[in-house]
Amino acid sequence: MSPAEVVRDLAQDAETKDVLTLFEEVVIAREDLLWLLVLVPLAAAAYVWAARQRRRGLASLGSPVLVERLVGSVNHASRVVAAVVSVLSVLLLCAGLLRVQYGGETTIVPATGLDIVLAVDYSKSMLARDVYPSRSERLAAELQRFLDEADRRGDRVGLVVFAGAARGLPVSRDARVLKLYLDKADPRTENPGGTAIGKALKLALTFLIDARRAAAAGLEGGPTKSFPTKDGKAEDIPPSESDQIVILLTDGEDTVSRPLEVAAEAAKLGVRIYAVGIGSKSGEPIQKFDAEGNPDGFVTDEQGNYLMTRVDEATLKDIAKTTGGDYVLVEPDKFGLDKVAEWIRDLSKGQREDTVTAHREEGYAFLIIPALLLLALSLALPERKKGP
């Protein structure tokens, strides 16, 4: 065998292996929709049945010669092609709905994950501009960086945004959703006003408890839900398979709830709370905003004196001490969450096993687009033959 033939054979073998590898990497993301493929033979059967019905109808008209003259201009070839093309389009549409995926990247999520809930103060005092461009904008940028690091570590993170009330997202590995939620949060639109630290911690504990129950029920990563017992009361809270913590970030003092009572509940569950006070100890004036959200001076009392907001360090330290956590004050001239990152690194590793996550490329476009083109072709085919 000549060298040229050897090279050609090796190239053919390589191409064959590449094709086989491609097919091995193709997966169906929605196997629960495989039943849709039943529509393909049904569509074909419908065309066959319709053709037979037409023939029977023509036969019942009477004289074959007269019938032939009536249907002589019908383009039977176009009808057959249209039927075949339509069935093929149904096949491709069904295959597209199955979400065929291929290739992509596979990453290993290490077993260093923690369950973390970020409780972030978004009251109007976070609009203070003692930090450029403002406390809230600077904090949002720092949290984006924190979420990127948590994603690399394999942590599951939840989010609570609060002012006078609390709302948020349960713990998950999807940092993209949390970032989007933070992007939409704005202290100017948070109602009611105030700083309800206790409500925020209560919601954070709810998210962590639901994560425990979901893991115990084999639903890790699924939606947050409750698991009542037969008598209607909540069942005993299972132990956590990994360390669970709450990181509280606030610049004010609680005015509407009892955070120390919630901290005691967290301590019983083994959940540690790490508190981060934002702002200066001397306090900052509270800014006012008009109906359109634009700055409109500062809040004053009846005597015209500026009302100040300051970090309630004593309460935050008590919260952290009660749960075995820690406290740090982040002042405007040294704004950052480096201390928080240090806390996370020092915590013990979770007990979850390594998981493999595959990020595959979606291939539905290669099926849906040809299907639509085939449908357009079937509609464009002429029903009648062109005249002489």
pLDDT digits (tens, 9 = 90+) for 10-42: 445 545 444 444 445 788 888 888 898 999 999
Give me Rg for the CA atoms of the chain. 32
Strand segments, DSSP code E, in the chain are: 27-28, 100-109, 115-121, 156-162, 166-172, 244-250, 272-278, 284-285, 287-289, 295-298, 308-309, 327-330, 355-362
Q: How far apart are CA 335 and CA 232, in angstroms?
A: 47
Domains of the chain: 3-105+359-380 (no CATH), 111-353 (3.40.50.410)
pLDDT digits (tens, 9 = 90+) for 329-358: 887 666 667 888 888 877 745 444 556 666
Cα angle: 312, vertex 117, 229; to 5 degrees: 115
Q: Where residue 204 falls among pLDDT bands split at 50, 70, 90?
A: very high
Q: What pLDDT is stored for residue 102 in this prediction?
A: 80
Helices (H), 305-388: 313-323, 338-346, 365-380
Better-scored residue on pLDDT, 74 or 175: 175
pLDDT digits (tens, 9 = 90+) for 43-71: 999 988 988 887 787 777 766 766 676 66
Q: Are 159 and 118 in contact (CB under 8 A)?
A: yes
pTM of the model: 0.58
Query: Is residue 332 classed as helix, strand or coil in its secondary structure?
Result: helix
